[in-house]
Amino acid sequence: MARLAFSEDERQQWRRERFEYPHPRVQLRMEVLWLLSCGQSYLSAARLAGVSDATVDRCVVLYREGGVEGLKQFEWQGPTSPLAAHQTSLEELFQADPPHTTAEACRCIEEATGIKRGLTQVRHFLKKVSV
């Protein structure tokens, strides 16, 4: 694998953005690259930044693929509820006949979609939809 080479501009950007960048995950990535640019080994950078060796590897891969801007990108998406596929039909159902309780909404959702969800999950779903 080719040795990493860092420009002075990149080093100055990491030095600044490891504290000032708005997102803490990017700050951490900048810290890792800052430590590597200061001559720390992967293991030492991981220990000093408080991350795993694998995280250091991922930061380096992001840097190699996209440079400094690649460190700022996120492609992570949270889990999606199986109810999301039925959102429109459930909104229509609940607008036509609003449930009086969350338990009633649970029963309606299960009857309409075959998906059984607990009270907390249904409450979260109802807050997201415009019912």
Full domain range(s) for residue 115? 82-124
Question: 43 lies in a domain?
Answer: yes
* Domain co-membership, 89 together with 52: no
Residues in Cβ contact with 67 at an 8 Å cutoff, skipping those fewer than 6 apart: 10
Write down which residue in 28, 48, 71 finishes a domain.
71
Distances (CA, A) of 50 to 41, 55, 68, 85, 95: 14, 10, 21, 39, 50
* Domain co-membership, 102 together with 67: no
The answer, yes or no, to whether residue 59 has pLDDT greater than 90, is yes
∠ CA 83-88-90, rounded to 5°:
60
User: What percent of the chain has pLDDT above 90?
Assistant: 67
Question: 19 lies in a domain?
Answer: yes
The answer, yes or no, to whether residue 130 has pLDDT greater than 90, is no
Mean pLDDT, rounded, for 44-66: 95
Q: Is the dihedral of CA 54, 58, 59, 63 positive or negative?
A: positive
* Domain co-membership, 65 together with 96: no
